[in-house]
Amino acid sequence: MDKIYLERYEYLGYARYICTSCNHCTSKMGISYCSIKMRGCCSYFPKFELIDIHRMVKSVDGLQVLKRIVDNPGTVIYNYYLHAKGYFDREGYLEYLKNGPEDDGIKDKTIFFRACPFVKSGYGCTLPPVYRNYVCNFYICDEVMSNVDKKEVMQQYIEERSRYARWVEWENMSLERILSEHHLNFRCDFEGTIKLLQEIPLDIYEFPALEEINVIGMNEKDA
């Protein structure tokens, strides 16, 4: 039976939700009509914010991941975040629209034709979990959330994710303020910005213990 559980990286004040059904995804969100198959829900082009980069610059491994993100051909460097754009089959998408896509309840049809630059077909994300952004680490699709054995515990996961997202927003604003006071940002002085982030201590978010949840397969649900 598949499960959802919280994996914590306490030394960095970070965590992720693990769903074991992801490696045999049947969600609509996981459908890929582009050349990169079996990429699950990794159609998202990740945005690495100050809090993510702050975590990366604290170790050699993290700096190597940061270099990989910067070196990605589709990455756009903004003042206070990096946007790593990946693969998009525009021709396939336009042809799909012309032929009249089925009404599957998904408004943004581009997800079927996109892939994150760091996803490997049949493997998943090639970035270490501690350096992924929180959107990637805490996303669970609606199909899974509606098929769990403990709805009240699932709600706790959702509420904790919302609390963490608010904390992330606060941390990003705090780091941006510090950088602004030093007249630094990634576009005007990338190396100087990294150096200052290395000097700023990490704030540690304390994740609560969350009970493991079972994911009920459709056959089990209907039995």
Residues of the chain with pLDDT > 90, as a percent, come to 72
Q: What is the pLDDT of residues 40-67, one digit of tens each?
A: 888 999 999 999 999 999 999 999 999 9
User: How many domains does the chain fold into?
Assistant: 1
Q: What are the C-alpha distances in Å from 151 to residues 18, 47, 146?
A: 17, 30, 8
User: What is the separation of C-alpha 211 from the centre of its chain, rounded to a whole number of angstroms?
Assistant: 22
Distance, CA of 180 to chain centre: 26
pLDDT one digit per residue (tens) for the chain, 223 residues: 899 999 999 889 999 999 998 878 888 888 888 888 888 888 999 999 999 999 999 999 999 999 999 999 999 999 999 999 999 999 999 988 888 766 667 788 899 999 999 999 878 899 999 999 999 999 999 899 999 999 999 999 999 999 999 999 999 999 999 999 999 999 999 999 999 999 999 999 999 999 999 998 744 443 3
pLDDT of 106? 76
List the structure tokens of 85: 């754009």
Residue 191 CB neighbour total at 10 angstroms: 9
124: phi then psi, degrees, rounded to nearest 5: 110, -155
Contact indicator for 128, 55 with CB cutoff of 8 Å: no
Threshold 0.85, pTM exceeds: yes
Give the domain range for residue 32. 2-222
User: What's the angle, vertex CA 83, arms to CA 120 and CA 180, rounded to 5?
Assistant: 145
